[in-house]
Structures are given as structure tokens and as C-alpha cells.
Amino acid sequence: MKGKVLITEQVSQKGIDFLIDKGYEIVFPKGKDEDSLIEAAKDCEAILVRILPISKKLIDSCPNLKVIAKHGVGVDNIDLEACRAKGIKVVNTPGANSRSVAEYTMALILSCAKQIPKMASAYKNGNLKAKDSTSFVEISGKTLGVLGLGKIGREVANMASKGFGMKVLVYDPFIKSLDLDFTLVEDKDEIFKEADYISIHSPLTEDTRHSVGKREFDLMKETAYLVNCSRGPIINEDELIEALKNKKIAGAGLDVTEKEPLDPSSELFKLENVIVTNHIAATTKEAMDEMVLRAARGLDDVLESREPEYLIK
């Protein structure tokens, strides 16, 4: 037996089988709270995590820990500074869920345009007149603004442009030129002013936290929709709720929120012009299989002293 690997949350069996075949002992926590994670991880050499927080306290309590593998892309739930201080490597799985999240993003855009949840609910409740008082639009020919042109943002832009004939504006402060059929803008305000749909695909950092709020909503068209399948705290949720209540924007499609799971009493559940789901964009069978396999390979590479394909510097 090589060593212990803590898997913090439910993952595809393919990844578990891969690690068992490699000779690792798999450990699961008894709960999702920090104390349960600490108890389960204390003798582990590796942690494979989805979205639960990996705190400094947890990291400091694991003397044998050598690597943390993120089942996904964003590593904002891992204390990277604590990892660097202790020489613990962090790997992730960029690209493994790109298509899944991009498809879900387009599904939210279409659902907003066609008012699908509202119409399905009205029909189910016998309200046949709802269609006469609801506005539906086509997305072909409309403008999509993409914030962040990583692997997922690029997939969304391609689907929107090539699949639906949308005009695509892109803002990404790390990209200076573009070899694609999209328009790269230097000022993100242009995205908020011009786009009919805005899709967020930026990582959560101190610079992007609450980077979309009242100022940006005031710039948007009253007919525009905001879609977020990235990280909830990028949007100032209180200010979004006010914008939705006051019809400053037409609506929003959210797969992520500031607090997850979202408080059942949240205003977001009460507003008709919001579609909100519980961080499921990446949970297709294909993406779940690929993410856990890449994460498992990455941690195995580190423990076997090989250079992992995706290492967070």
C-alpha cells in the first residue's frame, strides 16, 4: 500500500478505481465540516477535493501531506499560501469540464431568452395565458459579452458565435491580441454597455471579488441578462438583487452564488426574473469522469516524483 488519499466529496468511481489500482488507500471523511476533514486527513499524503474549503488549519494538521488535487479548475477553496509555506503541491484539471460548463452556460442564456422555467411552471399550474404576457426573444444576432477567455470562456464564445450567430465581445486583462472571430475590448465597461447577455468566466481573486455590482448593472441595458457559471462572489449579490427587483436589468441565470448552498430564504428564490441552480454546470457524467481521473493522475504524478501536467505555481 502506497499511502492514504483523502477524497473529500463524492466523485466518479473511475477515479477511485484508478487510485486503488495504483495501490493507494482511500479515506473518506465522516462529515463535511472542518473538524471531520482534519480527522480524516491527518495521516494522508494527498487530498482530492471538489469545493469544500481546504484551510490553513487543515493543512497544518497534516504532517504527511504532499499534494492537493483539485477536482476542477478554480483553486480559491484551497489556501495556496499555506501550501507554499509547507512545500505542498497543488494540481488541478483545466479543460476537463470546459464543454460541460460551456453547454450549461448556453442553456442558461437560452432559458433566459425563452423564459423556459417560467413557462414550464405556468403550464404545470394551468396558466395558459402566461405566454401572452411574457416576452420571448431570439439570441441569434444578439451580442454576448464574455468576461474571461480561458478554456471555458473560449468554448462559450465559440458556441455562441458559430452555433447561434451571436456577436461576441471579449474582455480579458491577460490577453492583448486575439486570433479568433471575436472582438477583444480593452475596457470591460464596453461589455456591460453593449451586450445583450453577459457571461462570467473569470477566476475568483481579490481583484475579481465583487467586481460586478451596482456600477456595472447601471451600465447594462434594461433588456440585458447576466449569467454566471464561474464563482458566486465575483458578483455583489445584494446589489444584483436590487438591480433585479428594480428591473435595472432583465434578469440573471446563476449556477453559483456567494454562499453555497444558497440560503432558502434568499431573495433570489423569490424573484421571477432569476434562474438559480446549485453549482451543477460541470456535473455531466463525461466531465465528472474526466475531472477525477485528471486529478487522480496529477496527485499520483507528484507522489511518484513525476512532473504533473497541471501544477499551480
Catalytic residues: 231, 260, 279
Phi-psi sector, 199: left (phi>0), alpha (psi -120 to 50), beta: beta
User: Taking the CB of residue 131, how many other CB atoms lie within 10 A of it?
Assistant: 13
Q: Which residue has the cell 504533473?
A: 308
Contact 275, 112 (CB under 8 A): yes
Contact 224, 82 (CB under 8 A): no
Grid cell of 29 as nine digits: 471523511
DSSP 8-state code for residue 133: G
Strand residues in 23-117 grouped as ranges (E): 25-27, 46-49, 67-70, 89-91
Q: What is the 3-state secondary structure (H, E, C) of 17-36?
A: HHHHHCCCEEECCCCCCHHH
Tell me the C-alpha distance between 50 and 53, whole Å: 9
Strand residues in the chain grouped as ranges (E): 4-7, 25-27, 46-49, 67-70, 89-91, 143-147, 167-171, 183-184, 197-200, 225-228, 251-254, 274-276
Strand residues in 219-287 grouped as ranges (E): 225-228, 251-254, 274-276
User: Taking the CB of residue 138, how many other CB atoms lie within 10 A of it?
Assistant: 11
Give me the residues paired with residue 170 across strands. Answer: 146, 184
DSSP 8-state code for residue 263: P
